[in-house]
Amino acid sequence: MKRTVVLAICAATIAMPAHALSRYDSTRLSCARIQEILKSEGAAVLRYPSPRIPALTLYDTYAFHSGYCGYDQYAKPSYVPSQDRKRCPVRVCTDNSRTGDF
């Protein structure tokens, strides 16, 4: 009986969906607030207008460190525009590149 209950709980846990990442408009937040969000939530989707085509919205997943990125990704230093800075330092989740592997 206990084994059946434990197996049912394990199956339910595996079947549960992953938590969705929060999304933020980086230009509506201060740089300090963006960094605070990444530290407290681990990762978030940040979006902002393209500097070349303002009608185009750019977005990506940014993380506090690589442990919050997806499988085979790492947190690469990058920048996003914020309310108070043109270049707010963050880390963007980027695929590990394997050049020459086929």
Domain extents in the chain? 19-95
The pLDDT tens digits of the residues spanning 15-52 come to 444 578 999 999 999 999 999 999 999 999 999 999 99
Q: What is the Rg, in whole angstroms, of the alpha carbon atoms belonging to the chain?
A: 18
From the list 52, 40, 42, the residue with the least C-alpha distance to 81 is 52
pTM for the whole thing?
0.76
Average confidence score pLDDT of the chain: 86
From the list 38, 60, 40, the residue with the least C-alpha distance to 48 is 60
